[in-house]
Chains A and B, each alone.
Chain A
Amino acid sequence: MTRVLRSNLWAIGLAVLLLVLLGLTKLIQPSFGFNGLESLARASLPFAFATAAMAVVVIVGGIDLSVGSMMAVCSVTAAVLMTMMGWVPAVAITLLVGLAMGAINGSLIVVTRVPDIVVTLAMLFVWEGVALLILGSPGGTADRALTGMVRGWTGPVPSALLLMLICVFAVWWPLSRSKLGLSIYATGSDEEAAFRSGVAVGRTRVAAYAICGLYCAMGGLSLVMLTGIGEPVPGPYLMASVAAVVLGGVVLGGGRGGMLGPIIGVFVLRIIRTMLTLMGVDPNVTTIVEGSIMVAVVMLGGFIMLRGRKT
Chain B
Amino acid sequence: MTTETEPLLDASHVAKSFGAVRALTDASLTLRRGEVVALMGANGAGKSTFVKILTGALRPDSGTFNIKGRPARAGSPAEARRSGLVPVYQEPSLIPDLNVADNLRLGGTPTEPFRRWVAELGIEGLRLTDMIGQLPLATLRIMDLARALASDPDVVLLDEMTAALPTDLVEKVLATMRAQADAGLGVIFISHRFAEIAHLCDRASVLRDGRTVGDLKIEPGVEDRAVELMLGARIDLGSRAPGEAPPPRPAGPPRLRLSGLAAGNKLTDVSFDLHAGEVLGLVALEGQGQDELFATLAGFRRPTGGVYEVDGRAAAFGHPADAIARGVKLVPANRSEALLKERSVRENIALPFSTRMRDWGVLRMAHERARVAEAIARLQIDTRAQGEVQRLSGGNQQKVTIARWLAHGVETLLLFDPTRGIDVRTKRQIYDLVRELAAQGTAVLYYTSELQEVPLACDRTVVLFNGRTVDEISAAEADQETLMRAAYGLSRTRAAGVSA
Contact = CB atoms under 8 A, between A and B. Distances in A.
Contacts of B102: 182, 185
Interface stretch (A22-30, A37-45, A186-194): A186-194
A196 interface: yes
Interface stretch (B75-83, B204-212, B397-405): B75-83
Nearest to A256: B97
Contacts of A194: 95, 106
Interface in B119-169: 129, 134
Contact of A189 (B87, B98, B134): B98
Contacts, number: 63
Contacts of A3: 129
A193 B94 contact: yes
A197 interface: yes
B238 interface: no
A183 interface: yes
Interface string A193-207: 111111110000000
A288 B87 CA distance: 52
B108 A255 contact: no
A200 B78 contact: yes
A196 B156 CA distance: 14
Contact of B106 (A199, A255, A309): A199
A196 B98 contact: no
Contacts of B107: 197-198
B300 interface: no
B136 to A, nearest CB: 14
A296 B329 CA distance: 40
Contacts of A182: 98, 102, 105-106
B77 A309 contact: no
A300 to B, nearest CB: 21
B89 interface: yes
Contacts of B106: 179, 182-183, 186, 194, 197-199
Interface in B80-103: 81, 87, 89, 92-98, 102-103
Contacts of A255: 95-97
Contacts of A186: 95, 98, 106
Majority secondary structure of chain B interface residues (helix, strand, loop or mixed): loop
Interface in B41-99: 57, 76-78, 81, 87, 89, 92-98
Contact of B95 (A179, A189, A200, A309): A189
B98 A185 contact: yes
A193 B95 contact: yes
A255 B96 CA distance: 9
Which bracket fits the contact residues of A?
20 to 34
A52 to B, nearest CB: 20
Nearest to A199: B106
A198 B98 contact: no
Which bracket fits the contact residues of B?
20 to 34
Nearest to B55: A196
Given A179-B105, A183-B106, A198-B107, A189 B97 contact: yes
A195 B108 CA distance: 14
Contact of A190 (B76, B95, B134): B95
B129 A197 contact: no
A197 B76 contact: no
Contacts of A195: 57, 76-77
Q: Which of B57, B78, B95, B129 has the most CB of A within 10 A?
A: B95
Nearest to B129: A3
A189 B93 contact: no
Contacts of A198: 76-78, 81, 106-108
Q: Which of B87, B94, B106 has the most CB of A within 10 A?
A: B106
Q: Which of B77, B87, B97, B105 has the most CB of A within 10 A?
A: B97
A179 B104 CA distance: 11
B93 A196 contact: yes
A197 B89 contact: no
A61 to B, nearest CB: 11
Contacts of A179: 105-106
A193 B93 CA distance: 4
A311 B323 CA distance: 35
Nearest to A193: B93
Q: Which of B76, B92, B98 has the most CB of A within 10 A?
A: B98
Nearest to A198: B78
Contacts of A183: 106
A309 B98 contact: no
Interface in A220-274: 255-256
Q: Which of A185, A197, A200 has the most CB of B within 10 A?
A: A197
Contact of A196 (B89, B97, B134): B89
Contacts of B98: 182, 185-186, 189
Contacts of B96: 189-190, 193, 255
A182 B98 CA distance: 8
A199 B78 CA distance: 7
B150 to A, nearest CB: 13
Interface in B251-290: none
B134 A309 contact: yes
Interface in A155-197: 179, 182-183, 185-186, 188-190, 192-197
A290 B107 CA distance: 43
B77 A196 contact: yes
A255 B98 CA distance: 8
B139 to A, nearest CB: 15
9 contacts: A182-B106, A190-B95, A193-B94, A195-B77, A197-B77, A198-B78, A200-B76, A255-B95, A256-B97
Given A255-B96, A309-B134, 13 more contacts: A3-B129, A179-B106, A185-B98, A186-B98, A189-B95, A189-B98, A190-B93, A192-B93, A194-B106, A196-B89, A197-B95, A198-B78, A198-B107
Query: Which 6 A-B residue pairs are closest in the complex by CB-CB distance?
Result: A196-B93, A198-B78, A189-B97, A255-B97, A193-B93, A186-B95
